[in-house]
Structure 1
Amino acid sequence: MSQQSGTPGSSAPASPSDVLRYTAFSGDPEGGNPAGVVLDASGLDDEAMLAVAAELGYSETAFLTEADGRAYTIRYFSPKAEVPFCGHATVATAIALAERDGPGDLVFSTRAGTVPVTVARRGDELRATLTSVEPQVTEIAPDDLAEALAALDWPAADLDPSLPPRISYAGARHLVLAAATRERLADLAYDFARLEALMHRIDLTTVQLVWREGPAVFHVRDPFPVGGVVEDPATGAAAAAFGAYARELAVVPEAAVLTLHQGEDMGRPGTLTVELRAGDSRVRVTGTGTRIG
C-alpha cells in the first residue's frame, strides 16, 4: 500500500478526471458491467460524488473516502442517487486496488454493513470474491406484485411457478421474478416511470428477472430505473440476493455454486458465480474484471 492510514492514497482529492473505468464480471472491456472507481474521494462531498457519477453515466461509481491499511470506507452513487451497496462496483474497486497493491484480503465498510473481499490471481486474471452482509428474504404484497407485473407488461401466466416472487436482501433489496421461458426474459420493454415509482415506494434497488436453464445455471436481467438506468448489465448485489433467495426457497442445496449469466440481451455478456456455504447464511459472489481504456 502506498499509505497505511488516513486517505486512500497519496494523490490529490479526486476530480471527475481521476475516475478509473473498469468492467466487472467479464475479462472483456466490452462485456460485463462498467463502473467508475475513485480510489481517493477524501476531498469530495455528497454533491460532488453524485456529479461525478452522473457525468460518467454508469449504473454506479464507487468512491473510497477513508482507508486504514487494506480496510476502506466505500460509497456508491448511481447517476441519480446514492445506493447502500453495489456488487459490481465492489468487484471493480477490489480489482483496481489489487492491480495497484497486489491481491489479497480487503474489507469494505458500506452503508449496508461490512463486506469482506478477497482478490486472487487465476492465471492471467484477477478474480474478486465479495461476502455479503446477512441476507433476508420476504414476501411481496399481492398488490405490489400486480403493479410490478403491470409495469413490466408481464402476464402472471408467464411466471415460473417453481420460483415464486420474493423480495430478497443481501445489502440492497431486489424483487425476484422468474420467467417461465427464455423468450419471456428476452422480451423486456417496460414502463420506466411506473416501475420506478413502485420501486421507490417499496424500497427496491433492482428487479431481478430470472430464467432457470439448469439445476444451478440461471440467466438474469435487472431493470434499474431508480438509478436512472434502464438495465444493469451485471449486478453483484442482486446476484447475492438471488443466492439467498435460492437457498431460502430450497431451489438449490444449502451448499451450492450457481452460475448466473447476465448482459447477453444487452450485448455485454458477463458471468457471476454465486457460492452458498453450509452453516453460513452469507452469500459469496465472484467475478473477474478489467480496466476499460
Structure 2
Amino acid sequence: MKTYFVDSFTNQKYKGNPAAVCLPERDLDAAEMQSIAAEIGFSETAFIKPLTGNTYSIRFFSPKTEIPLCGHATLASSKIVFSTTSLDSITFINYDNVELAIEKEDQKIKMFFPVYDTEETDVPQKMLDSLGISEVVSKRYSPNNKIILIEIGSAGELAELKPDFTALVNSHTGISGVLVTAASDHTDFDFHYRYFWPWAGTNEDPVTGGIQTFLTKYWALKLNKTKLNAYQSSLRTGTMSTELLQDKVSILGEAVIVLEGEFIL
C-alpha cells in the first residue's frame, strides 16, 4: 500500500504535525485501518481512495479510534493528491458524508471546513488542576466535536502548561479533548492554542486544524474580525491562517512530504 508521511501546517521538515497518508488499492475494513494507524503511531493516519473525477473518500484514524474530521491529515492528503496528479482542486468526503472542498493556492493549500457553534459549560476543578490552570477567561463546549474550550489570559502561560495527563483523563468523561487558548502576545498572530486529547488520541496534538471549525468563530466574534492568524504553541509548533465565511471556515496552510514508501499488508 502506497504510504506517505507528511508534516502539516509548516514549511519545514520535522515541524508541524506529522500525518500518514495511505492509498490502499483494495478495500480495508475499519479494524485493519485501525491496526495500521496504531502501528504507525501518528496522531492521525488518513486513508484516501479516488471516487469519481476529483472526488476522494477519506477516513481518519488516531492510534485509538476513528476520527470524523481532521485538519492536518486532510492537509497532508491534499498535499499528496496535488503532488501526484494535475488537479488544482479536490473534494474529500468523510464517513459522515461531509464534503471538504480543497484548493491549491500557490505553494499553500486552502481547505473549507464546516463551522460549529459553542455553548457555555462547566469545567471540573480537577480538570483545571490537572492542566495547571489557575484563572479562566471563558469556558465553552463544542457539541459537534465533543471538545471543551478553555480561554486563559496569557499566551506565555499557555506555552508553559505541563499537564498531568493521568489526572486529566480521569477528570472528565464523554469528551474527545480539551482545547486551551489565549490571545496572542505577538503581532504576527491573533491567538495561540494547544490541544490535549488523551481520551481519543495522543496526549497532545502537535498542530490541530479540525478545531478551527469552532475556534475561528470564537475568536472572530471576540476580536471582531474574520481573517485570523493562529499559532499552536506545542513543542513542534505550527501556524495557519483562517477566515470565517458565512457557513464555512477556510484554513490555509503548508505541508512538506518527508517519506514515501510501501506499507506491507
Category of TM-score, reference length = shorter chain: 0.7 to 0.9
CA distance in 2: counterparts of 1:112 and 1:35, whole angstroms: 21
Is the counterpart of residue 54 in structure 1 residue 38 in structure 2?
Answer: yes
Amino acid at match of 1:284: S
Is the counterpart of residue 133 in structure 1 residue 103 in structure 2?
Answer: no
- Indicate which of 167, 185, 202 corresponds to 2:141: 167
Percent same amino acid among aligned pairs? 26
CA distance in 1: counterparts of 2:83 and 2:33, whole angstroms: 23
Shift of 1:134: 4.0
Which sections of structure 1, spanning at least 5 residues, go unmatched? 1-13
Does 1 or 2 have the higher relative contact order (CA < 8 Å, sep 6+)?
2
CA distance in 2: counterparts of 1:95 and 1:109, whole angstroms: 16
Question: Could you tell me which residue of structure 2 aligns to residue 270 of structure 1?
Answer: 238
Shift of 1:121: 4.2
Shift of 1:89: 0.2
CA distances 1:225-266 after superposition (whole Å, capped 9, x unpaired): 12441211110001232012224xx2132x51111111x440
Matches within 5 A, 1:26-41: 26-40=10-24
- Indicate which of 122, 132, 150 corresponds to 2:129: 150
- Indicate which of 198, 202, 212 corresponds to 2:174: 202
Shift of 1:174: 2.4
Q: 1:175 to 1:102 in 2, by over 3 A?
A: farther
Question: Do the aligned residues in 1 keep the contact of 2:207 with 2:234 (CA within 8 Å)?
Answer: no
Question: Could you tell me which residue of structure 1 aligns to residue 104 of structure 2?
Answer: 120
Is the counterpart of residue 252 in structure 1 residue 223 in structure 2?
Answer: yes
Q: 1:71 to 1:289 in 2, by over 3 A?
A: same
Q: 1:28 to 1:52 in 2, by over 3 A?
A: same
Deviating 4+ runs (over 3 angstroms): none
CA distance in 1: counterparts of 2:89 and 2:64, whole angstroms: 31
TM-score (norm 2): 0.88
Question: Do the aligned residues in 1 keep the contact of 2:88 with 2:103 (CA within 8 Å)?
Answer: yes
Question: Could you tell me which residue of structure 1 aligns to residue 255 of structure 2?
Answer: 289
Question: Do the aligned residues in 2 keep the contact of 1:41 with 1:63 (CA within 8 Å)?
Answer: no
Question: Could you tell me which residue of structure 1 aligns to residue 194 of structure 2?
Answer: 221
Q: 1:134 to 1:113 in 2, by over 3 A?
A: farther
Question: Could you tell me which residue of structure 1 aligns to residue 62 of structure 2?
Answer: 78
Question: Could you tell me which residue of structure 2 aligns to residue 190 of structure 1?
Answer: 163
Greater Cα offset, 227-236 or 65-74: 65-74
Amino acid at match of 2:229: T
* Matched residue count: 257
Which sections of structure 2, spanning at least 5 residues, go unmatched? 260-265
CA distance in 1: counterparts of 2:25 and 2:114, whole angstroms: 24
Question: Could you tell me which residue of structure 2 aligns to residue 212 of structure 1?
Answer: 183
Question: Could you tell me which residue of structure 1 aligns to residue 262 of structure 2?
Answer: none
Question: Could you tell me which residue of structure 2 aligns to residue 5 of structure 1?
Answer: none
Question: Do the aligned residues in 2 keep the contact of 1:166 with 1:245 (CA within 8 Å)?
Answer: no
Question: Do the aligned residues in 1 keep the contact of 2:142 with 2:214 (CA within 8 Å)?
Answer: yes
Q: 1:256 to 1:168 in 2, by over 3 A?
A: same
RMSD of aligned residue pairs (Cα, Å):
2.2
Q: 1:96 to 1:281 in 2, by over 3 A?
A: same
Shift of 1:36: 0.4
SS in 1 for 2:211: helix
